[in-house]
Amino acid sequence: MSLGNQFGRVARFFVGTAPRRFASVSVLLAVVSSIAPTKDLFSEWRHYQRRYVRMIRNRPDAARLERRFESGIHQIWIPEQHVVDRCSTCHVALQEASLADLRKEPFRPHPPMPHSLTEFGCVVCHHGQGAATTVQEAHYSTKAWEQPILPSRYTESSCGQCHMDVLEGTPRLNQGRRLLARYGCAHCHAITQPDGTLVAPVDEPPSLEHVAEKTTREWIFAWVKNPQAYAASSTMPNYRFSDQEAADIASFLVAQSTASENSRKELKRAAPPPGDDAAQAGTSLYGTLFCSSCHAIQNAAGNLVGGDLAPELTRVGSKVNPDWLRRWLQAPQGYDPKTRMPRYRYDEKQVALLSTFLLSKKDDDFLANVHLPDSDTASIARGKKLVADYGCTACHRVNGVNPPESFAPDLSRIGSKPLFQVGFIRGMPETLPDYIAGKIHDPRAFGPALKMPTFSLTDVQVESLTTALLAQTDRAVTMPPELVRTTSHAKYHPGGDAGRLMEDLRCQSCHSINGNGGDMAPDLSFEGSAVQRKWLVDFMNNPNTLRPALIRRMPKFNLSEAEIKSLSDYMLSAYQASGFDSQALEASALNADAAARGKQLFYTKYACQSCHIADYKKDKGYVGPALTDVGDQLTPVWIYKLLKNPNALNPGTVMPNPNLTDGEARDLTAFLITLKAHPKGGTT
């Protein structure tokens, strides 16, 4: 029998007559319609749950794990946040700490974290499609869901959606936010943070209104061409100007420059002492004045030594006009009223020594090949147009060019930028983090006509910045205010004579007072409650350091007696914390017996000497401040309250709360106030 015949017989059997046709089609329909429900029994999530059940059988705490495991689809529902997260359907062991040794997903427990899974869900931090119950749909970008899982290296950004405060667990985010402010991103881009405030730049682009006094056209040319060639640590970005453009800008900047207030003053000049002595004396003066708290200089090994609050001075001698430098050292505000540089009370000899030292910091090669044609009006006009077009005045003050308005895109919601609005470069991974990182790393790669310049950032810095920007999500901006952990943005400025003096000294460049100011030096908001007058006066006369390990120190301002009195009067009366009346601690309780008990506690029970030094001969603690003269420095009440709760008076301190009883705190205080630079009897 041929194959065709056999086939015909089979076909006739099934569809030969109408009832057979009906039966065949009905059976087929029954089979086909049961495929989908059957497939459901073998879905991905059931597969993972079955694997989990098999896996936990071999664990020592199998009974407990099995009791806690519930089969079926699990979901976290947070209506206010539009969150329906079914991630825990497959990631079943998120809350099983006993499985912490598992490294492979999906059964890895979640690392310890301060939030409850059920209150926050998963996608608020990790993104992805929480409602999905298949691996592909939940984790990756699909037609139905654009934003895939956030790569784990950017996860910290999610903390930044609510937390404006500096968290210990988010170094990337913190660094990114610092960089956002430090690199002046916010000069051009408006970035509204979850608490409603704008990111404020902390860099200090100098005013260029009198730039011709300070430097030369050649230097401006070389600087604009490549700022990092002059100072590797500079935050000024590279605009990739052509030689012609850079020359035009230099011509314009010199042409627009006017005379500063300083230039009208007579320059009193002391002759620098001759020879090597001068260099030696200048170097040592630079050191003893603690200029390096803010300024850095590259040492012979090529490492930067010093702070990053102010410009690097490695090649400053190739840049500045010597007379400008002398005037500047005497009165920085006379050149730039908004500078953060304090007005030191240098005498003429100090100015001479310092300027000699600084002018010796030069690099003759830097300008060796710069030969500019004479500037002409056409070049100046072109330069002015470039300065306006590239938004130079978003950062720098320039005569005749107003700061541009809404110059660059608002980045307040960049973390939720829909991908259809993104112009990716061909070949790059089409995700938002990759786009942001790529844009920061090399903006011009996205189009040669784009104006955004190239910043000199390391890969880690780019990643941190990306993390900080990814925190700027729609969710962050629309977050209910009670969920936002904010920081203070008070614009406190001290008033009166002392206030003017503090303004002159730019105290808030380094110190924060009532929520306003730098974070380099201690917060002074409660300084009046904390310190004793004599110590404060002595310290301002001759600032020494409390923490020997630190390089940055309070500079010497050469303040007059009257100035110190005015400052200390003001600080002791104005910067008081509430509840610090001396009644809180009876003086009679701080007797010698108590001090002896306190010493016992200090060295044995609480081992304070592991971080602090009470006695230079014995103790080696370098983490906390030295306490050798704490009895001179701090008030007993302050010491007592600080011991009771370190974080309350010194937010963010690394000092752990020792959980002292009142008696122990009193005894320790009694001991600590005996620690004086010049002890008058009592224990050593």
Partner 1 sequence: MARPLGIPEGAGLHNPLHAIVRWREDFQRMLSARVLESRLGFRVTWYLGALTLGCFAIQVTTGLLLMLYYHPSIPQGYADMKDLEFVVSSGYMLRSLHRWSAHAMVFLVFMHMAKVFYRRGYKTPRELNWIIGVFLLLATLLLSYTGYLLPWDQLSYWGTTVGANIISSIPVVGANLRFYLLGGHTVNANALLRFYVLHTMMFPLLVIVLIAVHLWRLHEDGGMYDLDKNGNPIVPEHSALAAAGAPIRLEEEKTLSYRELLFREVIGIEALTVVLFVMGLLWKAPLEELANPLHTPNPARAPWYFTGLQELLHYFPPFVAGIILPALIVSGLFFIPFSPFFDNVTTYDANQWFRRKPIRMLIAAAFILVLGVLLVRVHAWDALLPAFVVAILLLLSTEPPSQPARGLRSWLSSRPLSFWIMTLFLMEAVVLTAVGTLFRGPSWAWVWPWRG
Which chain residues interact with partner 1 by CB under 8 A? 18, 21-22, 25-26, 28-29, 32-33, 35-37, 40, 73, 82, 84, 86, 131-134, 137, 143-146, 418, 420
Min CB(11)–partner 1 separation in Å: 15
Contact 237, 371 (CB under 8 A): no
Contact 122, 437 (CB under 8 A): no
- Of 37 and 429, nearer to partner 1 (C-beta) is 37
Q: Where are the alpha helices (DSSP H) in 322-458?
A: 322-330, 332-335, 348-359, 377-389, 432-441
Min CB(35)–partner 1 separation in Å: 6
Min CB(655)–partner 1 separation in Å: 49
- Of 84 and 372, nearer to partner 1 (C-beta) is 84
CA nearest 509: which of 546, 554, 551, 544?
554
Q: Where are the alpha helices (DSSP H) in 34-86?
A: 35-41, 44-56, 62-68
- Of 131 and 408, nearer to partner 1 (C-beta) is 131
- Of 89 and 330, nearer to partner 1 (C-beta) is 89
Min CB(136)–partner 1 separation in Å: 12
Q: Is the dihedral of CA 100, 103, 108, 113 positive or negative?
A: positive
- Of 134 and 488, nearer to partner 1 (C-beta) is 134
- Quote the tokens at residue 488: 């203070």
Q: How far apart are CA 21 and CA 19, in angstroms?
A: 5
Q: Which residues neighbour 341 within 8 Å (Cβ) at sequence distance 6 or greater?
A: 294, 310, 328, 332, 506, 509
- Of 35 and 587, nearer to partner 1 (C-beta) is 35
- Of 10 and 25, nearer to partner 1 (C-beta) is 25
- Of 28 and 445, nearer to partner 1 (C-beta) is 28
Length of the chain: 684
- Of 36 and 300, nearer to partner 1 (C-beta) is 36
User: φ, ψ for residue 621 (rounded to 5)?
Assistant: -70, 125
Using DSSP's 3-state secondary structure scheme, residue 344 falls into coil
- Of 20 and 153, nearer to partner 1 (C-beta) is 20
Min CB(47)–partner 1 separation in Å: 15
Min CB(88)–partner 1 separation in Å: 14
Min CB(78)–partner 1 separation in Å: 13
CA dihedral 296, 487, 480, 437 (to 10 degrees): 10
Q: In DSSP terms, which residues pair with 149 in a beta bridge?
A: 127
Written as one letter, the residue type at 23 is A
Min CB(196)–partner 1 separation in Å: 23
- Of 295 and 417, nearer to partner 1 (C-beta) is 417
- Quote the tokens at residue 603: 């060295």
- Of 92 and 291, nearer to partner 1 (C-beta) is 92
Cβ-count burial of 137 within 10 angstroms (0-12 exposed, 13-18 middle, 19+ buried)? middle
Q: How far apart are CA 468 and CA 258, in angstroms?
A: 39
Min CB(623)–partner 1 separation in Å: 52
- Of 85 and 209, nearer to partner 1 (C-beta) is 85
489-515 per-residue burial string, b: 16 or more CB within 10 A, e: under 16: eeeeebeeebeebbbebbbbbbbbbbe
Beta strand 304-306 with 296-298: parallel, antiparallel or unpaired? antiparallel
CA dihedral 596, 598, 599, 603 (to 10 degrees): 150
Contact 180, 465 (CB under 8 A): yes
Using DSSP's 3-state secondary structure scheme, residue 513 falls into strand
Min CB(13)–partner 1 separation in Å: 16
In order of 118, 134, 156, 307, the CA distances from 123 in angstroms are 12, 15, 13, 40
Min CB(419)–partner 1 separation in Å: 10
Min CB(388)–partner 1 separation in Å: 32
Contact 110, 97 (CB under 8 A): no
Min CB(551)–partner 1 separation in Å: 52
